[in-house]
Structure formats: structure tokens, C-alpha cells
């Protein structure tokens, strides 16, 4: 069972199914976010359905590009023998 | 039955016989010791134990309350898991070091005074350093040496702080810092922050942990930083500085993790990030926040150990640690993949995994305390956590490009230990009740609301979308990243260069000047002084002495010894006195 699940995420033959499943999950999550009841919201963004999806995607992109920028342009990334 | 057996004693005394045992007996013994310690923690009663007087100070070896019991519970459980993971090791040294390390961590958790705390604090540093030294090879030994140096420096700051604080307050008892923050308290705080790996004092962790032995790193990931979280929660709850340090830390670890190529160093950066949540929670200081930090520490120890065990299993089997050299292992290590992913879901705070019920408490506490910025920053850090530990690391380690590595599942004991941790990660996520009951304050927090679940899933799965779209940008690169250890790795070299070149030249120039100019001048002035001494001063002294001698001779001639002379002198004196009286006073 475990092997099947692990293979499902790696084997080429399941690639189409993987993608479909992934996009289905994304749609379901956003749909559910519109449906759930929201009591005692304190902040503006907590009122907006789908906000977390936007924030999650935005955070991910921001983190990748800010750190790669710091690594390449900011000089944080060095050759492995830098300290030798 | 006594109320309290110190679990630190069980581990430290329990470590002594290990070198003399072998084979199955040793394995059984290694499992029995942590089990006994778990039993000791489960049966202990709150109270104070082992009070005594030492150099006029009241010491308390053990102070048991709810906060110390939570940490002791997870420490002893983790010790059992870590020991099972290391059961296949033949050499006794690592087992002994691990037990002393765990025992010292427990000693800190129960310490009722600063001296006891300090002793165990140093014990932790030395025992854990051995787990890096034991890896052998130049790279590990240099890293272990740096690790030890940094911790000794931190320990000195702590000791200095303890002495100043003790003199100022007159007590060495360990508890919430009252009154203002003085130099002593800041030094203590600095010592604690160093062990919590708060930037810029974080580099020792990401430098040394990936160099430790496969089994040693599992222990290290659990104890040092979480002991620091415990002492911060005990002494500095509600200190505003910690909120901001913690928030910065949560993002700092995540940003560095993007750049990292070494699988365990990537995980180490996520320790920094996760401990950031705990430090921020301690800084917020409300009951919900301290509960959040404590439960997050509990959950974190288990899932982080699980992740380190997973990465360790890959290193054990393949002998490789760089993501650029790994890939395609899922076919040969499916169980390891599955267990690792449970840890990854737990650290990412997926619903029904342990991180979900603990991390959300800290974020909710920030929200309740009207700290919108902290809340948003911590949420962003959770996105980064899933991005690296849940997506990037497993993708490049287990999937990705197949490097054709000959791999197999790791030894059974490793899988059992990973299974134990994985079971706990799920159990805590599904049934948070028992963990919440252990927390220092009563819990009125419900993690499983519809909005919270959809919000978390939204954050996480759309992070996954970002990962899928920008996968190529995340390809690991064969580099290392400069962190604050630069200052003592490169900086120390510049210091040595400064000492050897300009300073040495300056020293030479100064001694040259003294040889050519200063010394002759000094010789000359010494000779002049001698002449002055002989000719002038001595002459005056001799002259005075000679005149005193001459005066003495004159006086001696006056003393004739004849009574009539004396009587005559008296009469002359009397007459003179009368004349003076008559002439002057009239």
C-alpha cells in the first residue's frame, strides 16, 4: 500500500492523474474556503474567502525569489571551498 | 515509592555501565534506561526537591512544576526514540555521550537555581560536541571545535550574567526575572538566546548539526534549542524583544533554506525557523502564547527528529548528503519516504498532524494580542516550511533526477524509531487533548474549526502550486551560504593576518625605536643621574654630616663635667632671662 502511494507521486505513468488530482484539490480548497462559516473575524483579510490561497502562493514566490536574489546578487552563496 | 527520582540521574548514572556491556544485553539496557526515565517523569509530583546550602546560597537541584514536566516528558520520549534509532551502533562512546547529553538537558529543565542550571548547561555543550567529534574527519572535527568554542563563549556570558544577577538580587534561585533588566540579566538572556540559535547567534547550529553523526544529529536536533526555549519561557516571558527576534528568526531560517544544498543543513535552518515561533510566543507572553510555545516545542522535537532520522537514513544508506547528488530513491526506500513525509506534513502544520495543533496556537496568540504583522510573518514562514521540508527536500532527495544510486531501506531499528515518532506526530494531531492537558496553563483553544482548516490548506497547497510552477528556480546549486559564522571563520583569519602582519611589524618597529633611540637615551640619563648622585647629592649629604660631626665636637668640649662651670652657666642663663624679661616685656 505504502509503496503504491509513494510510486504514485514518482512514476511517469501517473503524471496526468497527479496533475488532475492536484488541481482538483486546489479548486476544492478554494470552494470550501467560500463555504465555511467565519465567526469572530478580527482582521480584514480573514473576511476574504480565498485570501489564504493568494497569500500562500505569494509567500512562496516571494521567498524563492528574495532568497535567490540575496544568494546570487547579495553574495550569500559561495563556492564550496570558500572556507578552505 | 518516592515522589521524585531525578531523571537526569537515571541517564547520567545509566550511561556509566554502557562501555562494559555488549551485544543484546547492551541493546536491552539502552532501551530500559530511557523507559525508566519516562516512568520517573510520569510518576513525579510537583514540588521542590534537593534543597541545600552552598557557599551561603540556597540551591535547589530540582523544582518540578507543569512547565518542567511537559519538557521532561517529551525529552525522555525523544531519548527513547533516539536510542532506538542508534541501537545498531557498536561503539559505546556515542551512546554514553547521548545519555549524558539528555541527562544534562533534563538537569536544566528541573534546575531550581542558576548554579545547577549552569553546570548542566555546560554538560550539554560538551556531551553534544562529542556527537560531532565522533563523526571523525577534518571537516567534522573543525565544525565540532567551532561548536564547542561558541558554546563555551555563550556559557561564559551566562556565568557572568548569573554572578552579576546573583550579586544584585542576593539570590541564585531560577525563576521569572523581576524588576528591571540590568547588565546581568542581559548577559543571561544572551547566553539563552545563543542556545536558542537566535540570529545573529544561530550559525553554530547550522554549522555543526549537519556534520554530526547520523544518529547524533537526531539527538542534537531535539535538546539544545528546546532547553533554551524552556529557560526563556521560565525567565523571560513577555519580553517584547523576543517577539521581534522570534519573528525575524522564523523568516531567516526559511530564506536560508532556499539556498541550501546539504539535506541536513536545510533541516537545521528549519530548526532556526521553527524555534522562531517558540521564541515569539514566549515574547508575547500571554497564557495562550506560552502554551503555544510549549506545545510547539513538544511537537517540534518529535517531527524534527523524524525528519533528521529520514535524512540520516538516506545518508546512512547512500553515503551522500548533497541534494545535487541525490535523487530517485523512492523506488528503493518507500517506507523511509512515507515516514519522512509524515514528519514533513507535521512540520508544515497540515490538519491532523502535530504541527497543526501547536503552531496555530502561537499564531492565534499573536492575533489575539493585536500583532497583525507578526501573524502575517509567521504565516509566511509556514508557507516556506512546507516549500522546503515538504516539497523541495523530498523532491530532490527521493524523486527528481534518478542518480542510479544503489539504495535499500535502512536497518530495522531505524525504521522502528521513525515509526514511533511518526505515530506520535499523527496521534498528537488527531487527539491534541492529552498534550493540551500537559500544558502549563488551562487550554481554551480549538484548532479544528472549518475556517482554520481551509485557511491552512489554502496556504499550503497554493505554496505547492508555486513550487510546481517555479520548480526550476529551486534546483539545488552546488554552493554553501555565508552566515554569521563568517565572522569567526573568515573574520578570525583576518584577525590572525592582522596579528601576524601589521601588528607584528608595529611591534618590531617599536622595539627598533627602543633599541636605537630610547635605550641610548636611557643609558645616558642613567649615567648623568649617577654623576649627579655622586657629585651633588652625596656631597650635600656628606657636608651636612660633617658639619653635624663638627658641631658635636664643639658641644662635647662644652660638657666639662665640672659642677662650677654648670652653675656658672645657669647663673649666666638666669641673668640673661632677667635682662630679657626686664628689657623686652617692659
Per residue in B85-134, pLDDT (tens digit) is 999 999 899 999 999 999 999 999 999 999 999 999 999 999 999 999 99
Q: Does B519 touch chain A (CB under 8 A)?
A: no
What's the confidence (pLDDT) of residue B565? 76
Verify that B300 and B179 share a domain, yes or no: no
Per residue in B256-267, pLDDT (tens digit) is 999 999 999 999
Q: How confident is the model at residue B586 (pLDDT cuts 50, 70, 90)?
A: low
Phi, psi of B167 (to 5 degrees): -65, -40
Q: Is the pTM of this model over 0.95?
A: no
Verify that B508 and B548 share a domain, yes or no: yes
Verify that B75 and B187 share a domain, yes or no: yes
What's the confidence (pLDDT) of residue B453? 93
Residue range of the domain that includes B248: 240-481
CA–CA min distance A59, chain B (Å):
6
Kindly identify which residue of chain A lies nearest to residue B396, measuring between CA atoms: A10
Residues of chain B with C-beta less than 8 angstroms from the C-beta of A61: 466, 470
Residue B313 near residue B389 (C-beta atoms within 8 A): no
Verify that B319 and B377 share a domain, yes or no: yes
SS (H, E, C) B495-563: HHHHHHCHHHHHHHHHHHHHHHHHHHHHHHHHHHHHHHHHHHHHHHHHHHHHHHHHHHHHHHHHCCCCH
- Provide the ipTM: 0.94
More confident residue, B173 or B417: B417
| Alpha-carbon span B581 to B309, nearest angstrom | 115
Verify that B188 and B68 share a domain, yes or no: yes
Distant-in-sequence, close-in-space partners of B417: CB < 8 Å, separation ≥ 6 = B81, B82, B84, B85, B309
Kindly identify which residue of chain B lies nearest to residue A71, measuring between CA atoms: B259
Cell numbers describing residue B290? 506560552
Verify that B250 and B222 share a domain, yes or no: no
Q: Does A57 touch chain B (CB under 8 A)?
A: yes
What's the confidence (pLDDT) of residue B1? 47
Quote the number of domains for chain B: 3
Verify that B358 and B386 share a domain, yes or no: yes
Nearest CB to B454 within list A2, A36, A78? A36
Residues 316-335 of B with CB under 8 A from A: 330-331, 334-335
Per residue in B393-434, pLDDT (tens digit) is 999 999 988 888 888 999 999 999 999 999 999 999 999 999
Whether residue B290 lies inside any domain: the answer is: yes
What's the confidence (pLDDT) of residue B217? 96
Verify that B312 and B198 share a domain, yes or no: no
Verify that B514 and B435 share a domain, yes or no: no
- B379 vs A25: CB contact, 8 Å cut-off? no
What's the confidence (pLDDT) of residue B389? 93
- Which residues are paired to B262 by β-bridges? B322
Residues of chain A with C-beta less than 8 angstroms from the C-beta of B383: 55-56, 59-60, 63
Count how many Cα atoms sit within 13 Å of the Cα of residue B582 in the half-sphere of its side chain: 6
pLDDT (average), residues B523-539: 85
| Alpha-carbon span B164 to B193, nearest angstrom | 18
Per residue in B233-251, pLDDT (tens digit) is 999 999 999 999 999 999 9
Verify that B266 and B414 share a domain, yes or no: yes
Hey, how many other C-beta atoms are within 10 angstroms of the C-beta on B522?
11
- A22 vs B468: CB contact, 8 Å cut-off? yes
| Alpha-carbon span B337 to B399, nearest angstrom | 10
Dihedral Cα B367, B373, B376, B378, nearest 10 deg: -80
Residue B344 near residue B266 (C-beta atoms within 8 A): no
Distant-in-sequence, close-in-space partners of B155: CB < 8 Å, separation ≥ 6 = B118, B121, B122, B125, B191
Nearest CB to A77 within list B254, B473, B477? B477
Kindly identify which residue of chain A lies nearest to residue B334, measuring between CA atoms: A3
Per residue in B429-470, pLDDT (tens digit) is 999 999 999 999 999 899 999 889 999 999 999 999 999 999
| Alpha-carbon span B364 to B281, nearest angstrom | 10
Identify the domain boundary among B481, B510, B543: B481
What's the confidence (pLDDT) of residue B347? 95
Mutate to test the interface with A, among B329, B462, B471, B487 (most CBs of A within 10 A): B462
Look at residues B296, B282, B185 and name the one whose alpha carbon lies nearest to residue B233: B282
Cell numbers describing residue B554? 664643639
Identify the domain boundary among B176, B203, B236: B236
Q: Is B450 exposed, middle or buried (0-12, 13-18, 19+ CB in 10 A)?
A: middle
The 3-state DSSP class for residue B137 equals: coil
Rg, Å, chain B Cα set = 37
Whether residue B184 lies inside any domain: the answer is: yes
Rg, Å, chain A Cα set = 20
Amino acid at each position: 500500500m505504502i509503496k503504491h502511494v509513494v510510486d504514485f507521486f514518482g512514476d511517469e505513468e501517473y503524471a496526468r492523474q497527479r496533475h488532475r488530482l492536484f488541481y482538483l484539490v486546489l479548486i476544492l480548497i478554494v470552494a470550501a474556503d467560500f463555504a465555511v462559516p467565519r465567526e469572530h473575524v478580527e482582521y480584514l483579510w480573514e473576511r476574504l474567502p480565498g485570501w489564504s490561497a493568494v497569500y500562500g502562493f505569494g509567500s512562496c514566490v516571494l521567498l524563492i525569489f528574495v532568497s535567490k536574489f540575496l544568494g546570487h546578487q547579495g553574495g550569500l552563496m559561495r563556492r564550496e571551498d570558500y572556507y578552505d | 515509592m518516592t515522589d521524585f527520582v531525578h531523571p537526569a540521574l537515571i541517564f547520567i548514572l545509566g550511561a556509566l555501565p554502557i562501555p562494559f556491556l555488549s551485544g543484546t544485553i547492551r541493546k536491552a539496557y539502552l532501551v530500559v534506561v530511557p523507559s525508566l526515565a519516562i516512568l520517573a517523569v510520569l510518576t513525579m509530583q510537583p514540588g521542590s526537591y534537593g534543597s541545600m546550602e552552598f557557599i551561603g546560597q540556597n540551591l535547589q537541584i530540582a523544582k518540578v512544576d507543569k512547565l518542567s514536566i511537559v519538557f521532561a516528558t517529551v525529552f525522555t520520549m525523544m531519548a527513547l526514540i533516539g536510542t532506538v534509532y542508534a541501537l545498531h551502533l557498536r561503539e559505546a562512546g556515542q551512546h554514553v555521550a547521548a545519555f549524558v547529553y539528555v541527562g544534562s538537558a533534563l538537569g536544566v529543565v528541573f534546575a531550581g537555581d542558576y548554579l545547577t542550571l549552569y553546570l548542566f548547561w555546560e554538560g550539554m555543550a560538551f556531551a553534544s560536541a562529542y556527537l560531532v567529534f565522533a563523526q571523525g574527519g577534518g571537516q567534522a572535527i573543525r565544525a565540532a571545535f567551532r561548536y564547542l568554542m561558541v558554546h563555551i563563549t555563550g556559557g561564559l556570558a551566562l556565568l557572568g550574567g548569573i554572578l552579576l544577577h546573583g550579586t544584585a538580587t542576593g539570590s541564585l534561585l531560577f525563576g521569572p526575572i523581576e524588576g528591571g533588566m540590568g547588565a546581568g540579566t542581559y548577559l543571561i538572556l544572551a547566553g539563552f538566546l545563543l542556545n536558542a540559535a537566535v540570529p545573529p547567534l544561530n550559525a553554530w547550529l547550522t554549522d555543526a548539526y549537519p556534520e554530526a553523526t547520523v544518529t547524533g544529529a537526531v539527538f542534537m536536533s531535539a535538546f539544545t534549542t528546546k532547553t533554551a526555549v524552556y529557560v526563556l519561557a521560565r525567565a523571560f516571558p513577555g519580553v517584547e524583544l523576543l517577539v521581534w527576534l522570534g519573528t525575524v528568526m522564523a523568516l531567516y531560517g526559511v530564506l536560508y533554506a532556499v539556498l541550501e544544498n546539504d539535506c541536513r543543513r536545510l533541516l537545521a535552518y528549519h530548526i532556526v525557523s521553527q524555534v522562531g515561533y517558540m521564541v515569539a510566543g514566549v515574547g508575547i507572553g500571554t497564557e495562550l502564547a506560552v502554551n503555544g510555545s510549549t506545545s510547539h516545542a513538544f511537537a517540534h522535537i518529535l517531527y524534527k527528529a523524524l525528519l533528521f532520522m529520514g535524512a540520516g537514513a538516506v545518508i546512512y544508506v547512500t553515503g551522500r548528503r548533497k541534494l545535487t547528488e541525490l535523487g530517485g530513491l523512492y523506488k528503493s526506500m518507500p517506507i523511509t519516504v512515507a515516514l519522512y513525509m509524515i514528519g514533513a506534513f507535521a512540520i508544515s502544520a497540515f490538519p491532523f498532524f502535530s504541527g497543526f495543533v501547536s503552531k496555530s496556537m502561537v499564531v492565534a496568540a499573536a492575533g489575539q494580542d493585536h500583532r497583525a504583522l507578526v501573524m502575517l510573518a509567521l504565516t509566511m514562514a509556514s508557507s516556506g516550511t512546507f516549500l522546503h521540508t515538504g516539497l523541495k527536500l523530498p523532491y530532490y532527495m527521493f524523486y527528481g533526477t534518478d542518480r542510479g544510486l544503489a539504495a535499500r531501506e535502512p536497518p530495522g531499528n531505524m525504521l522502528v524509531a521513525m515509526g514511533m515518532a511518526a505515530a506520535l506526530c499523527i496521534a498528537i494531531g488527531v487527539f491534541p487533548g492529552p498534550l493540551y492537558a500537559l500544558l502549563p496553563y488551562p487550554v481554551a483553544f480549538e484548532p479544528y474549526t472549518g475556517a482554520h482548516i481551509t485557511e491552512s490548506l489554502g496556504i499550503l497547497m497554493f505554496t505547492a502550486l508555486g513550487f510546481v510552477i517555479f520548480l526550476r528556480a529551486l534546483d539545488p546549486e552546488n554552493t554553501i551560504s555565508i552566515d554569521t559564522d563568517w565572522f569567526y571563520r573568515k573574520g578570525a583569519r583576518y584577525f590572525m593576518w592582522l596579528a601576524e602582519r601589521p601588528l607584528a611589524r608595529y611591534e618590531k618597529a617599536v622595539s627598533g625605536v627602543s633599541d636605537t633611540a630610547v635605550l641610548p637615551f636611557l643609558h645616558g640619563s642613567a649615567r648623568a643621574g649617577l654623576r649627579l648622585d655622586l657629585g651633588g647629592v652625596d656631597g650635600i649629604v656628606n657636608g651636612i654630616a660633617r658639619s653635624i660631626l663638627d658641631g658635636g665636637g664643639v658641644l662635647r668640649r662644652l660638657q666639662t663635667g665640672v659642677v662650677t662651670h654648670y652653675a656658672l652657666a645657669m647663673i649666666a642663663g638666669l641673668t640673661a632671662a632677667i635682662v630679657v624679661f626686664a628689657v623686652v616685656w617692659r
